Amino acid sequence: MSARAGARATSFELEVYLADCRESMEATLRTVVGRWEERDLPEDVAAAVRHGVLGGGKRVRAILCISAYRACGGDGPDEALRELAAALELIHAYSLMHDDLPCMDDGELRRGRPTTHRVHGVSRTAVAGVAMIPMAVHTAFRAAEALGCPPDRARDVGRELCRAAGAGGMVGGQALDLLAEGKELDEGELAHLHGLKTGALLAASLRMGAVAAGAEAREVDALDVYGRAVGLAFQIADDVLDATATVGELGKQPSDRQLHKSTYVALHGLEGARARARREVERAVAALEGAEVRSVVLRAMARYIIDRRW
Ligand code: GRG
């Protein structure tokens, strides 16, 4: 099923749709990485990039971006849209590769496989991750052009990505996370940290799709509210999964307890955290309805984000 068909559908099997999107995103990411390999990347770094980007992941950010674009009436070609979504997945994948490094969370497993640095070494993984940042920005501009965005709109799309990935977004959130080691955060501090670390890129996924489609400001704003609410719900669900899921389900070792992290489960208990996540999902869906952004996929994705088992 194409992304366009998914956006129009009134009832559909989400899991089938997600599997289809993941498969086509895998092909697009392979093409994008291949293009860079031919031009710039030494083979050993390219191998680390491929390990970190290909062959796994839920591709939530890509699917949100694609869905927002279609929900806002964007009618550009599917492959160009997937390349825009690939830019987000590159930033996300680099952040996981770096987050797993020994100087950060020292992760052993990711997406059901040994982490990139356990296979390709720490220094190659560090270089590969950094190389993926300009790769992502370049990919976003190229995709915006291929989608027919006029130059000022393409610039806005790129700006959304850079802002969310930078010190005012994901990197800033990670810095706060590192500073929070050994401290107990309250609800407000935890929401601020995760709003930057996880929420900014998730919200940017929707905003980039909407801006690329030439959406009205009220639609972009509604998708931003949806993205931030879903981002928080996503993080709460992550905390619940870390406390309840198996290594097999998660594809990585649960680590919150071992790393003494402040979590929503520690703050509210399991049932309290689940209830808090459900409230965010309701808020997300209400924002779409308020701005009359009609998307079966986005409604279903909000629920999926808290019902998922990985
Ligand atoms: C050095 C300060 C500094 C920053 C570098 C490492 C880093 C940048 C940022 C870390 C960002 C990070 C790891 C955020 C966590 C986001 C999160 C919830 C990841 C899990 O996402 P999923 O479940 O993963 O979508 P999959 O594998 O499905 O793609």
Ligand 1 probe mutation, 133, 171, 259, 309, most atoms within 8 A of CB? 171
**Distances from the Cα of 116 to the Cα of 31, 32, 44, angstroms:** 20, 19, 12
Give residue-wise pLDDT tens across range 73-106: 999 999 999 999 999 999 999 999 999 999 999 9
Give residue-wise pLDDT tens across range 164-211: 999 999 999 999 999 998 899 999 999 999 999 999 999 999 999 999
Give residue-wise pLDDT tens across range 222-281: 999 999 999 999 999 999 999 999 999 999 999 898 888 999 999 999 999 999 999 999
Residue 173 Cα to ligand 1 midpoint, Å, equals 10
Looking at the DSSP bridge assignments, the partners of residue 43 are: none
> 5 pLDDT exceeds 50?
no
Q: Is 171 in the pocket of ligand 1 (CB under 6 A)?
A: yes
Residue 125 Cα to ligand 1 midpoint, Å, equals 15
Question: Could you tell me if 80 and 149 are in contact, meaning their C-beta atoms sit under 8 angstroms apart?
Answer: no
pTM, entire model: 0.95
Average model confidence (pLDDT) for the chain? 94
Atom of ligand 1 nearest to the CA of 110: 27
- The two tokens of residue 283 are 């808020």
